[in-house]
Structure 1
Amino acid sequence: MDAIFDLDLINTVKVLKLNRLSIIRFKYDHITQSYQKNKPIPSATLEKVFDCCESQNYDADKEIKYYELSKSSLISHGWKTAPDVLILDTLQDINKYVEGGDWTEVFDLHLINSLLFIPLYLERQKTKYQPNILGSLILQSYSPKIWSNAEIEAFKWIGKKVTSDIINQQTVKKVQSLVNERTSQLRFSLDVQAKLSNKLRFHLEELRESNKVKDEFIASMSDALKTPLSNLKTGIKMLKLRNVNESLELYIDILEQECDKEINLVDNLLTIQKLRVKEMEISPQKVHISSFLQDIRQKFMEKLTESQLSLNVNAQLDFLLTDLNSFDLIIKELIFNAIKFSTAQTVIYLIIEKHLNNFIIEISNIGAEIAAEEQENIFQPFYQGNNVENVTNGGTGLGLALVKSLVENLNGTIEVSSILSPNSKDYINTFTITLPQEVHEVY
């Protein structure tokens, strides 16, 4: 499972006070395509891919356990009920399907009083085919519990996210297998053909093609992730419209925050990939500085207020000619970064001015020092500085890497400085961007 999503599931157990949450994946010996009303239990292996107990710390490296589907009466009944949810909210209902025991690696038979099975399935477009049941999300309560409709709907959306993760993992494994096979073949060819100089160019071309396929795969996977994330975002918004209890509302807020982070991560990864392969075109247009900065103020007003910060803008230009999308991303990422690392009740400064044949953008904030060794690495992808642990809303480590790539795509440079603030133990941290006037003419 995805490491970030594992944390979400662990928080689910804590927030909703569940005793145990498990994810089981089905590995079928044969796939049945035709629809059968009273479908028999297929030959399949159960794989426990996630298991979190309220009474134990979660261990991501814990050995994966296996079991036969036909030997688990409870999971078999859940499989038969799919794609509908199975609710066993009394001990009498549970005992009805436990025939002399069950999978003890998943079920605490001497403790459970209520069970909820959420099927993980892939819907088919043609109705004559039954849904492909990929696994099951199993929730256990050791005390009597009536599962509310809001809880069931929330776990259905979690089930869709888990299903998406399973499908993505299967796709990545298949692609990785093909890549490994191709890489193995290519290495063998290189070892043999290296002795023949007239074949060297052919193999180099093959290697370039493999890298091209890899780049295209990364770009296509980033695009493919957008759809399930957008669906998840829509589902979260729909859940927030319902009247839910306070503990469930807290978890929905956590889901929304993590979903926004993943969407931002995918967008940044895709943009960096386009910049790396030189597919990010520059489309200069006239930008009205006053209205642009007004939009910036509006976007960050809430975050500035929450963080007890203010934004001071000093723009000595009326217009400039630049790529609006790149310029917008650069300014927003730097202000967002400044908000995260600013000391409360201080001011963030944004200065835009012309100097000789360049125009200069400076964004400064008051906060912890950015040490010299950190300044050398701060623009590296996924680099997290020493002060990140003190930030409640940590980022992905891609923001400044994205800014640097965008600036360089505009033929500019970016530098960072950190100097001790007068009469304070904090530091003035300044990011300075220089863009050439010959590319971005000022009006």
Structure 2
Amino acid sequence: MDLLSEGVPRMKKPLWSPTEYVDDIDRLQTYKVKLMQHQEETAHQLVQKINQIIANTSATALMLQDIAQLLGTAFEVDCCCLVSVTGETSDEATTMNWCADQYLGLPHPEEMFSMEQLLMHSPVLQCAAEPLTIEDISIIQKSLVIGCQYLPLPIKAVLAIPTRFSGNNNGVISLIKFQPYDWSESEKQLLKEVESACAIAFSQVAQAKLITHQQQYLQKGDQYQSLIKQLTLLSRSNLELNQMLQLVIASTAESLQADRGLLILLKYTDPLFRTQGKKQIPKAKARVVGEWAKATQISRTTKPETLDQQSFLVSECGLCQRPFIDSGKAVIFDNYTEQNDTPGAAPLFAIEQLPAVLLVPLESQGKILGFLVLQQATTRSWQAAELNLVEMVCAQVSNAIIQSQTLRQVQTLVDERTAKLQSSLELQAKLHERTRQYVEQLRKLNELKDEFLSNMSDRLRYPLTNMLMSIRNLRLPGIAPERQIRYMDILEQECTKEINLINDLLTLQKLESPHEAPQLESIDLNTRIQDITVAFEKKLAEKGLKISVDLPEESLKLQTELESFDRILQELLTNACKYSQHDTNVHLEAVHRVDQQIDQVIIKVTNTGHAISQEEATYIFDKFRRGKGRWTPGTGLGLALVKSLVQHLNGAIAVESLPISDSEQSEICFTLTLPQFSDESKP
């Protein structure tokens, strides 16, 4: 025991009452040195009972209580103390004491003996397993300090043994008597026998505590992951910055169970601060943009009500200066009231009510944007996981602030670029539409060109074929004179057609090119129309057609170009002759109209024939274009020439097809509108 006493270091915590309690203890009945009363109960039976307790008890605390009571009763001691050792620190140990019934009601002493006093009184402490290592002695020493400091009477004898599980110490069994006692070898041997069973119980306690810690850790991890996910969604939302920051500080402070949380942003007033050296206090104004607090923590009298009270200068707040002095590190104070530098913003932080402070800077590229502040009414030990969570929140908040500032800075530029882009897109759309129209026009022109070449080749080939045939027939020997005359007539007719076709093409080309103003002259409209219709009567009569003319009663003078006017009427009458049904009438009408100072002459040529569809009306005035199912001999340039001549005279031409009731035929009306030039406008 002397060797054991020398190897144990001194303990600072007391173990039992001072010496004035010794007299009262001596009055108690002294223990007789004897063996256990139930000597017949073997170690095997005792281990079986311990195993039954382990197997049948679900709660670890009740299990240790039952084992302590079983051992205390079996060894007939005054107290049995079981202490599980799960780590190096005493706050991780689980303690369970059992005391005999006669000691349960005694008051606890105010002071205890020191461990040195305990070890000096031999044989107070004995061990069931000898020899012991320094580690075993230290574990027993700590277990006595932890488990026996609140016993009702001073300790006079202790029999202790450390338990081992998987090669490591996991607990201590201490048998305690409040009277001097010499422990027998049989008691030591029996305690050694139950050590392994108690080690299993201690291992289950450690395992249950580990599971509880892991569950708490997982629960906190889930809460923290949920918080990070919530903050990520907030940063991606369309909320205004201050509104988002308010939700961030509320979620963070509530998740970490803080009493109060603040989000503070800085506005620098010194543009050269970024070029200054480190550990300098900048010229900046701090403003609270988010706050959350438990309702019971801050009274209304200490909470600032206005925005001015929630703003302050960094140079006036010692608390906010710490991150600049510590190069952007987090600042933790268990009690900030003990610091010499009382902040100028004391009413805002309510240091008297919430002295424990955690202040983490919001930093981006070496620049502190603000602070996240969490306050507690009592001292709090911040875990590493909690600090990591706060740093992650600060990183997200810093990114959100930078993004918001960047968006505000470029918003005007984006709007301008968007407006320019919109204008460019509209212009591109117009250009695209115009290009599409040009492409469509080119496609149609290409089709017209192909159709023109095809029709032109037909118009040129057909007369030439007839002329070639006539020439060959004239060269035949012995041809009759009358046949020679017939072939000569064919040659003359076909040659005339070719000449007329070429003349019409030249006329169209001349009219479609930049042309001179028409050579106007005054004509008698009634006389001119009558002369033209008389010339067509014979041609119309050959097809069984009649012509009727409706002219003004008074002769009308028209300022126009005579050659062009005659050609227009001739082509319209020729067209009516070709496409009119047999035994129908061709009607020609001329009227003079003055409407809103516009002097016009309107001439209508109407015939009866097949209807003209809306699709055909769109191209009926094009070169070599005819209505579907209408093929008659001719150049195919008549109506095209009419349109060009009308435009040359600054007039207009239109066609209209009106169906006749109870008939498959329609009235086809060509309306010619010519301006009536005055004498003063005559060139």
| TM-score by shorter chain over 0.5 | no
Q: Tell me the TM-score normalised to structure 2 length.
A: 0.30
Larger radius of gyration: 2
Q: Which has the higher contact order (CA 8 A, sep 6+)?
A: 1
